[in-house]
Homo-oligomer: A and B are copies of this chain.
Amino acid sequence: MDVYEALYTTRAMRRVRPDPIPPEVQARILDAAVRAPSGGNAQNWRFVLVDDPAARSALGPLYRQCIDQLWATIYKARVESARADPDLPESRATLAMVASVEHAADHFAGYPLFLFAFHRGDTTGGSIYPAVWSAMLAARAEGVGSSLTTVLAFKGDAVPDLLGVPRDQGWKMAACVPLGYPTGAWGVARRRPAHEVAYRNSWGAPVGFEINQPLWPSQD
Contacts and interface: CB of A to CB of B under 8 A. Distances in A.
B93 A41 contact: yes
Given A2-B2, A97-B40, A209-B23, A188 B49 contact: no
A138 B203 contact: no
A209 B44 CA distance: 21
Given A35-B188, A93-B41, A199-B46, A175 B126 contact: yes
A3 interface: yes
Contact of A48 (B47, B125, B165, B200): B200
A58 B174 CA distance: 34
Interface in A175-202: 175, 188-189, 191-195, 197-202
A28 B209 CA distance: 11
Interface in A82-135: 93-94, 97, 124-126, 128-130, 132-134
Contacts of A156: none
A124 B174 contact: yes
B12 A37 contact: yes
A77 interface: no
A50 interface: yes
B45 A197 contact: yes
A166 interface: yes
Contacts of A164: 202-204
A48 B203 CA distance: 7
A128 B129 CA distance: 9
A135 to B, nearest CB: 9
